[in-house]
Amino acid sequence: MEHTMPTYLQGMKDCIPTLLGYISIGLAMGIVGVSSNLSVLEIALLSALVYAGSAQFIICALLVGHSPISVIILTTFIVNLRNFLLCMSLAPHFSKYSALKNVGIGALVTDESFGVAMNKIVKGEQINDQWMNGLNVTAYLSWIISCVAGAIFGKWISNPEAFGLDFALTAMFLALLVLQLQSIQKPKLKLYLSLVLYMIIAMVLLCMFLPSHIAVILSTMIVATIGVVTDRER
């Protein structure tokens, strides 16, 4: 049986379920940006060049607090370190492509696009550069447009929480998790659920001694290593 190679258009379609998350958080980001005395152009550039919701919110907070540029850069770098882990997980599926293509793909990988890609991989479906670019570019443009829209029309949505927009991102990740669990075979399901438990324990313990963003990175590295070693032994 031949497998049809996924296309750019299919990548765009597969991005649609995650757009609510991008739009809701993007609108909130635009509102926060304006309240932090950033212009619409500055918010657009921040969204296009940083392209990371959590980092952008932190940047706004640091700007309001008149933090030095060095602190802003270092904090943004630490918060976004998780993207190295995401790209490392996807890298084996793009090893046949050139370094330039891989840089282009990796530069636009987000938590959400990673979740969609992993869901496809877990189901045993193929992914390629065209599909990943369709997924990434659709998400990227949606994020920029949402942030700019939030900056322009924010005065009419002064309280995003009232519409439940603050929970949209969490709901989206829960949906992606359910889809992955439905596709996993029973033996591996037990392993993955145990890894979730390890992750919770590691986060609780590390958060007692370290800042939360560093605890997330260390916990992920530790539990991911446990998962890889355990899976190979099976």
CA–CA separation, 56 and 47 (whole Å): 7
pLDDT score for 123 = 80
Q: Give the mean pLDDT per block of 10 residues along the chain (234 residues).
A: 76 89 84 86 94 85 85 82 84 91 93 87 87 95 94 71 57 59 61 80 85 74 74 56
Match 């560093």 to its residue by tokens. 214
pLDDT score for 1 = 41
CA–CA separation, 144 and 150 (whole Å): 10
pLDDT score for 184 = 57
CA-based nearest residue to 33, from 123, 146, 114? 146
Q: Are 146 and 22 in contact (CB under 8 A)?
A: yes
pLDDT score for 212 = 72
pLDDT score for 119 = 84
pLDDT score for 2 = 47
HSE value, Cβ hemisphere, 13 Å, CA-based, for 131: 19
Q: Helix H segments across the chain? A: 8-15, 19-35, 40-49, 53-64, 69-79, 82-90, 99-107, 111-122, 129-153, 165-183, 186-207, 212-233
pLDDT score for 25 = 83
Match 């993207």 to its residue by tokens. 83
